[in-house]
Amino acid sequence: MTTIVTPRPELLDTSATTDNYLTFTRGFRSWALTLDHKRIGVMYMSAVLASFFVGGVFALLLRTELLTPGRTIVSADTYNQFFTLHGAIMVFLVIIPSIPAALGNFVLPIMLGAKDVAFPKLNLFSFYLWVGGALFTLYSLAAGGFDTGWTFYTPYSTTTTTGGVIPVLTGVFILGFSSIFTGLNFIVTVHKLRPPGMTWFRMPLFLWALYATAIIQVLATPVLAITVCLLIVERTMNIGIFNPSMGGDPVLYQHFFWFYSHPAVYIMIVPAMGIISEIISVHAHRQIFGYRFIAFSSIAIAMFSFIVWGHHMFVSGQSGLMNTIFSLISFSVAIPSAVKTFNWTMTLYKGTISLTAPMMYGLSFIFLFTIGGLTGIHLATLNTDVHLHDTYFVVAHFHYVMMGSALIGMIGGLHHWWPKMTGRMYNEKAAIIACIIIFVGFNITFFTQFMLGSQGMPRRYYDYLPEFQIYHVISTIGAYIMACGFFLCAACFVQSLLGGKKAPANPWGGRSLEWQCTSPPPHDNFSAPPTVGNCYDFSMLRWDEKEQGYVVDKELEAVAIAAEARGHS
Amino acid sequence: MLSTLTSIFIATASVQTAPPVATPADFWLPIGASVQAHNVDLMFNIINYICYFFFVVILAMMVWFVIKYRAKPGTRIRTDGMTHHAVLELSWSVIPLLICIAIFFFGFTGYVDLITPPKNSFDVNVTAFKWGWQFKYPNGAQSDNLVVPSNRPVRLVMRSNDVLHCCFIPAFRVKKDIVPGRYSTLWFQCDIPTGIEEKNGYHLFCTEYCGTGHSNMNRRVMVLPQAEFDEWLVKQAQWLDEIPDDELYFKAGPKIYARCQQCHSLDGTVGLGPSWQGVWTRLTTPGGARFSDGKSYSDIIGLGKEYATPEDYIRDSIYNPGKHLVATYGNVMPTFKGQLNDRAVDSVIGMMKHLDEFDVKGAWTKTLPPAAAKTETKSEQK
């Protein structure tokens, strides 16, 4: 039997105004040299959102260029730089750090009832590594940009005349270490800093997801570091590793690259799945359905992620036997993904569902991830992949998963924890409208690209056949709609910061530990290490008008405790 | 045999109902014109229906639950939902697993058919380069577009001169990367002739990103009945030889220039390579630091120098393009060694000497004397 002995939010009302992490100390240095995981999380979030804006501008430029066949606004070389930058920024600077480093940093220690991550200084160091990597990427633009595609396939990447290739590779190398250190920190934190009572199977599922992600980050990212090193060596010293004219093998590069970059896909999506597990259960106020299946499916996806990289190379010239093995293993990823999707959906069954802004993002995620996941079957199947490989079908598929799922999950998580991070509420109606606009715009943009691809339109094309134009026009209109949605979303957040209602400790009715400290949390998160109950038991919560948030009802709590005691005996 | 017949029937039917988006059956896929297309399309459609099914199930559950269990103001939090259900959860693990294994198996067998060329296939040598294609036939004939016989398996033996390329023919549902330093092969059989008209040919794309001209590597695949194909093959091998020497520059020149025009303009526009405008004057007048190493044309062209004549220099620039780089231009031109023979190079040089007779697109603007006009109709497209 367990109870929550942390001070209740209502008892903390007076202290909340005196101690929160945002006002704990003041001045530039207090932020720049902070070891507080919450401040580092906020800094990461600001940096990631700024990068998202830049990557998004490139996306809009791309879509605008593709309005007509041939030249619309820029030349072919500029277009090639645009799509390369869009991809590299979105992957390395936005999606990979967005959930683990930004939201994870903020939420993970509080969810664990801990004061901070295990290695706070390493945490700050990894943030500055991110900044360093970002600066190198920025510098590469000044050095002539790069037009290699974010995949840096050789021998094009070692022979192209654009001058920014080596700076951006250096940037990617540094960003990789930022990611490794964050992963290392999280693994140790989850192992060592869980409070008494929080067994592995009492952890919120977001922690399981972050833990699985951290394992991939630590194991896979070093391979990327080696790969970009070899690429730099080949480009600067003409040592033949990948270039066949010097005795190298370009397909070897693809193996190295995807050995990291396929797991990287799960570095992006698994934490988003964790967020969705939280959002769906908290906003449906309903015990998550099949906790263990979801937890194990995160670990299963992390494991499978290492042995399916070859499906990026079905037409690359790797042997038919390898293709067969990789195709078979790739299907295994479908199972944990299906389990998660069905379990989330079943969590809605007999729930008490509040259609809040985070919940709208959560439901969008299920919709978009279902499409993204199912179209993966076309691509894992050998003979259909041959037709669809390197076409817009692939582009649509991975945008449904990377953007429609990973990024929508991140934005949903941001809405979910925004009151906790800033202490302010946002205009809920406007945020929901923004979500709907993004959702509609997204589907217009990317569903069209499925048709484009299956009709045979190759990806990374500056010029295209006139019969494809109608699809491109629709897709571009969708992108503009989506941009409007994101601007509305940003406006909501700005309005919230400037004049949002004060946030209660528990605006949504969550039960994991972060909802038990004030909004925003005090510098030390908890005055005493909290004891932990079932973080998905919502039965004791009641909406409180005065508080404008959820509070634990004493009577209901007694009933819940009794019920749990019965369950244990 | 039966499956071949069905695929012919289906492919023919879809050819007649083009354009692809007009018919519901072709909402997803373009016309399928190879014997392999039928199996791929069948698989694609089966997977589609499985996807529709699961999508509708999940969406319906989601919408229904959200409507039914939406919190009304003042309601207590429900606590009667089950926390887990082993049978249910196992069933939506195991059933998708079985479906996946089945899909894998049929995809695999289909793939084996897709990559295993029949023994009696007709080989075409393919060279991909930045940014174009060269199709070479056993009798020495060369073509910019792919022309193949119908009702016979065709195997492309492909290599790349520079970076990765990828050969994709959507109507045939085939695709294969072309990796420098090794041969890759791809086969198909098309039983629906298109005729030699370029506009009726099937599209051929490069689908591996290869730089500036990546999206300009589109070519056509023309499928001819065997007899017609044999005739074309002979003519294609000899077309350059049949043109009298003094007519080479305006008959063969423009056809070969079509491969140069992506980078070399005729009107002075700066492209990836120097414009041909005024090239002969530049070559034959002394002075001017024209190379990236500071040398001028007259430093290397002339008696006793590296090139005795400007013709020698042009010829070497086509075969060894990186040897002398004109200032401000990069080393991006692929070699045309083995692709353009002496007569082809002669026609290019002849065209350079007579640029005033061509418009900016490279079309010859003078009219033929009546006697020569008759032979013009004979020389077919190149």
Q: Residues B16-46: pLDDT tens digits?
A: 433 333 333 468 999 888 888 888 999 999 9
Please say if the pLDDT value at position B61 is more than 70.
Answer: yes
Nearest-CA distance B39 → chain A (Å): 8
Using alpha carbons only, give the angle A128, A131, A137 rounded to the nearest 5 degrees: 145
| A382/B107 CB distance under 8 A | yes
Question: CB–CB of A245 and B181 under 8 A?
Answer: yes
User: pLDDT-based confidence at B287, cuts 50/70/90?
Assistant: low
Q: Where in chain B is the domain with CATH 2.60.40.420?
A: 122-241
User: Rounded CA gap, B307 and B284, in Å?
Assistant: 12
CB A232 within 8 A of CB A166: yes
Distance from CA of A168 to the nearest CA of B (A): 18
What pLDDT is stored for residue A18 in this prediction?
56
pLDDT for B288: 55
pLDDT of residue A369: 95
Best CA proximity match to B112, nearest among A318, A328, A321: A321
pLDDT of residue B338: 73
Closest alpha carbon within chain B to A348: B65
pLDDT on residue B329: 82
Give the distance from residue A341's alpha carbon to the nearest chain B alpha carbon, in angstroms. 8
Q: Where in chain B is the domain with CATH 1.10.760.10?
A: 245-378
**Facing residue for A338 by CB, picked from B92, B103, B176:** B92
Mutate which: A158, A246, A387, A405, vs B, most B CBs within 10 A? A387
Say what the pLDDT of residue A328 is.
93
pLDDT tens digits for range B155-206 = 999 999 889 999 999 999 999 999 998 999 999 999 888 888 888 899 999 9
Q: How far apart are CA A454 and CA B170, in angstroms?
A: 9
Return d(Cα A93, Cα A78) in angstroms, integer.
Answer: 21
Please report the number of interchain residue pairs, chain A to chain B, with beta-carbon separation below 8 angstroms.
273
What are the structural domains of chain A?
Answer: 9-568 (1.20.210.10)
Using CA atoms of A490, A494, A495, A501 in order, give the dihedral in degrees to the nearest 10: 110
* Rounded Cα gap, residues A411 and B123, in angstroms: 54
**Chain B residues with beta carbon closer than 8 angstroms to that of A370:** 54-55, 58-59
pLDDT at B267: 83
Q: Is B45 in contact with A329 (CB distance < 8 Å)?
A: no
Is any Cβ of chain A less than 8 angstroms from the Cβ of B25? no
* B13: pLDDT strictly greater than 50: no
Q: Which of A350, A386, A450 sits opposite B80 (nearest CB)?
A: A350
Establish if A497 touches chain B: CB-CB under 8 angstroms. no
- A185-199, A434-448, B130-144, B355-369 — most confident range: A434-448
To test the contact with chain A by mutation, choose from B87, B209, B221 the residue with the greatest count of A C-beta atoms within 10 A, namely: B209
CB of B62 within 8 Å of any CB in chain A?
Answer: yes
Judging contacts by C-beta atoms under 8 Å, the chain B residues touching residue A384 are 40, 43-44, 47, 107
CB-CB: which of A285, A383, A465 is closest to B39?
A: A383
Nearest Cα neighbor of A395 from A335, A450, A323 is A450
Picking from B77, B174, B269 by the largest number of A CB atoms within 10 A of its own CB, the best residue to mutate is B77
Residues of B within 8 A of A335 (CB-CB) are 93, 96-97, 100
Q: Calculate how close chain B gets to A344, using CA atoms only, in Å.
A: 9
pLDDT confidence of B289, banded at 50, 70, 90? low
In this predicted structure, which of B4-13, B230-239, B290-299 has the lowest mean pLDDT? B4-13
CA dist A152 to A87, A168, A250, Å? 11, 10, 11
Whether the pLDDT of residue B10 is over 80: the answer is no
Instruction: Please state the pTM of the whole predicted model.
Output: 0.86
Residue B240 confidence (pLDDT) above 60? yes
Q: Which among B66, B100, B174 has CB closest to A363?
A: B66
C-alpha neighbours within 13 Å on the C-beta side of residue A264: 28
Q: To 10 degrees, what angle do helices B86-115 and A320-332 make?
A: 160
| Element counts in chain B: helices (H) and strands (E) | 11, 10
Architecture (CATH level 2) of domain B245-378:
Orthogonal Bundle (1.10)
Q: Do A9 and A509 touch, CB atoms closer than 8 A?
A: no
pLDDT of residue A86: 95
Q: Is B47 on the interface with A (CB under 8 A)?
A: yes
Candidates 3.30.70.360, 3.10.50.40, 2.60.40.420, 3.30.450.40; correct CATH number of B122-241? 2.60.40.420
Q: What is the per-residue pLDDT for A10?
A: 43
Residues of B (194-253) whose Cβ lies below 8 Å from A: 203, 205-216, 218
Q: Is A206 on the interface with B (CB under 8 A)?
A: no
Report the SS3 class of residue B167.
Answer: strand
Measure in Å the smallest separation between the Cα of B361 and chain A Cα atoms.
17
The residues in A 382-441 lying below 8 A from B, measured between CB atoms, are 382-387, 389-391
For A147-167, give the DSSP string. -STTTT-TTHHHH---TTHHH
In chain A, the N- to C-terminal Cα span, in Å, equals 10
For chain B, what is the mean pLDDT? 82
Strands A549-552 and B146-149: unpaired
Instruction: Tell me which residue in A160, A287, A332 faces B83 most closely, judged by beta carbons.
Output: A287
pLDDT of residue B185: 93
Inform me whether the pLDDT recorded for B85 exceeds 80: yes
Q: What gap in Å lies between CA B57 and CA B53, rounded to an integer? A: 6
Show Cβ contacts of residue A484 under 8 Å, excluding neighbours closer than 6 positions.
A437, A441
**Mutation site for B-interface testing, chosen from A255, A279, A328, A382 by largest number of B Cβ within 10 Å:** A382
What residues are paired with A552 via a beta bridge? Answer: A541
Its sign, for the CA torsion A2, A3, A6, A9, is: positive
Q: How far apart are CA B187 and CA B148, in angstroms?
A: 11
Residue showing tokens 């920014």: A164
The count of other CB atoms within 10 Å of the CB of residue A372 is: 24
Give pLDDT tens digits along chain A (569 positions). Answer: 344 444 444 444 444 455 788 888 888 888 889 999 999 999 999 999 999 999 999 999 999 999 999 899 999 999 999 999 999 999 999 999 999 999 999 999 999 988 899 999 999 999 999 999 999 999 998 898 899 999 999 889 988 888 889 999 999 999 999 999 999 999 999 999 988 888 899 999 999 999 999 999 999 999 999 999 999 999 888 888 998 888 889 999 999 999 999 999 999 999 999 999 999 999 999 999 999 999 999 999 999 999 999 999 999 988 889 999 999 999 999 999 999 999 999 999 988 999 999 999 999 999 999 999 999 999 999 999 999 999 999 999 999 999 999 999 999 999 999 999 999 999 999 999 999 999 999 999 999 999 999 999 999 999 999 999 999 999 999 999 999 999 999 999 999 999 889 999 899 989 899 998 888 998 888 877 777 888 888 888 888 888 888 888 888 888 877 777 776 55
Contacts of A78 in chain B (CB under 8 A): none
CB-CB neighbors (< 8 A) of B173 in chain A: 383, 386-387
First to last CA, chain B: 36
Measured between beta carbons, the chain B residues lying within 8 angstroms of A451 are: 21, 27-28
Q: Which of B23, B85, B104 to mutate to test the interface with A (most CBs of A within 10 A)?
A: B104
Q: Indicate yes or no: CB of A331 within 8 angstroms of CB of B100.
A: yes
A 4-63: CB under 8 A from B: none
Q: Residue B188: its chain A contacts at CB < 8 A?
A: none
Structure tokens at B284: 């034959």
Backbone φ and ψ for B81, nearest 5 degrees, come out as -75, 145
Q: Which residues of B touch A350 (CB under 8 A)?
A: 69, 78, 80-82
| Whether B182 and A289 lie within 8 Å, measured CB to CB | no
Answer whether A375 touches B (CB < 8 Å): yes
> Between β-strands B132-136 and B165-169, what pairing exists: parallel, antiparallel or unpaired?
unpaired
Q: Torsion angle of alpha carbons A322, A325, A327, A332, nearest 10°? A: -150
On chain B, the residues whose CB falls within 8 A of the CB of A312 are none
Q: What is the pLDDT of residue A9?
A: 44
Q: Searching chain B, which residue's CA lies closest to the CA of residue A331?
A: B100
Chain A residues touching residue B174 (CB < 8 angstroms): 386-387
pLDDT value of position B272:
80
Contact B65 A383 (CB under 8 A): no
In a mutational test of the A interface, the residue from B21, B111, B186 whose CB has the highest number of chain A CBs within 10 Å is B111
The pLDDT of residue A3 is 42
